Amino acid sequence: MRPQSQGIPVGPLPSAIVAEVCMNDVDTLLLKKGAPHVRFVDDFRVFCKTREEAIGILHDLTEYLHTTHRLALEGSKTRILTAKRFVESELHDPVRAEDAKRRKRINNLVEQILTLTGYVVTAEDLEPEDNLKATRRALGDLLSECLEKKPFRGSLARYVLRKGHAQKTAVLREVVLGQLDALVPVFRDAMRYLIHTTPKSKATETGEAIMAWLQKSAYGNLPFIRCWILEVAERRIDILPKEFALASALRLAVAAWIETSRLTSASAPRSRLD
């Protein structure tokens, strides 16, 4: 017998329905205690007026889950946050973050002009080209900040990569190539960004960086990683040569055949000795 884990079933839709049934009485408990909250399956967000109230609700919820359901809160995911910290960490708006970075860049440029020339200018006085540069550099700042902070904000990274792709700016290229391990959760967007923004003069350099990463990274042999790099080879032969595309396609085909054979063997009925 394999040991069975305990907890709320999550995953496929039927499991989610079971989880909803299991958690219905917990919702009722919180409502009776006057604690406004939202829940998605087994993820709770409870809103309190004071820290003392939050501590009391956390105690009551912990006790109820254990005594009624023999469940425990996940310690690493259970936190009491101030309203300001909650907004910053949970309600992150990529568009607002980009705009804040862009305005910061523009303000720095205005201050530099004042320091160097003595002239007072505003953002409206700047040339369109200067505004565009500030916008692109703001994307670079935003991606670097996203990679530095934990946990990794995949939605923000995806937004920045797609915005960089749309603007066809290569300002993110060096950061992307240097942080491919960290960008694995958004690898498709990272590769598509490189496909559309890498200048021909940097194609060979970009291809060498990708190949070096494939050889040393623990993620390098994962099928989905190879698939998206294969797209780079197919669409930008100046970045990755055709020989690489053929080798990767063959490797993926062999891996798919092995996996299919394994699943077929596992599902086939076993013969019994009479």
**By three-state DSSP, how is residue 97 classified?**
helix
Mean pLDDT value of segment 72-76: 83
What are the tens digits of pLDDT across the range 131-181? 667 777 888 888 888 888 777 888 888 988 998 898 888 889 999 999 999
Mean pLDDT value of segment 61-77: 87
User: What pLDDT does 174 receive?
Assistant: 93
What percentage of the chain carries pLDDT values higher than 90? 28
Of 20-29, 119-128, 177-186, 245-254, which one has max mean pLDDT? Answer: 177-186
DSSP symbols for 99-132: HHHHHHHHHHHHHHHHHHH-----GGGS-HHHHH
Omega prior to 223 cis, within 30 of 0: no
Sorting pLDDT into bands at 50, 70 and 90, what band is 122?
A: low
Rounded to two decimals, the pTM is: 0.58
Q: Which is higher by pLDDT, 118 or 49?
A: 49
User: What pLDDT does 20 receive?
Assistant: 78
Sorting pLDDT into bands at 50, 70 and 90, what band is 205?
A: very high
Sorting pLDDT into bands at 50, 70 and 90, what band is 214?
A: confident
**Triad 85, 89, 92: Cα angle to 5°:** 120
Helices (H) and strands (E) in the chain, counts: 11, 2
